Amino acid sequence: MKDLYVSWDEYNRLIEKLVLKVYESNWSFDAIVCLARGGLRVGDVFSRLYDRPLGVLFTSSYREAGATQQSKLVISEHMSSAGPLPEARWLLVDDLVDSGATLTEVVPLIRARYPKVSELRSAVIWRKGVSVAEPDYWIEFLPSNPWIHQPFEEYDHMRPADLKARYGS
């Protein structure tokens, strides 16, 4: 299992490829729900390109060992959005399906909380081989389950003072 390092350019290109994959499926949806934090950028791009409302459901499972080890999944009680989402067909987006625990728990939770949602599909950039869940759409299948170093992770280990040192005042 080698680590996978992803640049900003590659990350943005993969999100765009995911948008195209969903588009080419000819499936129509009314709203996007992203799982934060990893799915925020994915959801933002989908929302802008499809001109659909965006809901944000906060989840957290990578809190141990410097955010590199999964722990108990925490799912927020409420979804955030600028207004009510049309409850018909929703696209659930995230950056990756790792173990599959998040997707396995979130899908039935959304169905229970929002019973008027008639169809719910999922889309991610990366699907790891170890995952017990299979999203409807993904771009890269990673059978060796590498740790993915995403470009925004540099901020996990920085503080504003580090930026001040980088740019001066």
pTM, entire model: 0.89
Element (H or E) spanning 96, and its range? Answer: strand 89-97
Half-sphere exposure of 116 (CA within 13 A, CB side): 7
What domains lie within the chain, and their CATH numbers?
4-167 (3.40.50.2020)
pLDDT 10s digits, 113-160: 999 999 999 999 999 999 999 999 999 999 999 999 999 988 888 999
pLDDT 10s digits, 23-35: 999 999 999 999 9
